Amino acid sequence: MNVRLYVWQRATAAVMAPLVVVHIAVIFYATRHGMSAADILSRTRGSIAWAAFYGVFVLAVSIHASIGVRNILSEWTPLNERRVDACAVFLGLVLAVLGLRAVAAVVLP
């Protein structure tokens, strides 16, 4: 961890705090109403708001989680710094690609 990674990790954390609260509310709403795929997709398809919300969420979590996992690898495994960086970048890319794909899956008309 250094000051650059720290700033990125804390900034994405601060950005995500309100997003997490909203997401928990969404989870509760969806389960209370027993929403089907049709119910969900009719709300998300073509919605710029949901695209923006979850798009930002995905990008933020890709950065945040990869830095967090990097710390764990660095402190709890014998991997050297280059390997640890590579794993973090890999995780970040996996989350960003799969995440944006998932957002596209539900918002694209």
Q: Which residues contribute to the site for other proteins (CB under 8 A)?
A: 1-7, 10, 13-14, 17, 20-21, 24, 27-28, 31-32, 36-38, 40-41, 58, 61, 65, 68-69, 72, 74-76, 81, 91, 94-95, 98-99, 101-106
Contact 43, 50 (CB under 8 A): yes
Contact 66, 88 (CB under 8 A): yes
Nearer to other proteins (CB atom), residue 38 or residue 48: 38
Q: How far is the CB of 45 from other proteins (least distance, A)?
A: 9
Q: How far is the CB of 105 from other proteins (least distance, A)?
A: 4
B/e letters for 66-82, b = 16+ CB within 10 Å, e = fewer, are bbbbbeebbeeeeeeee
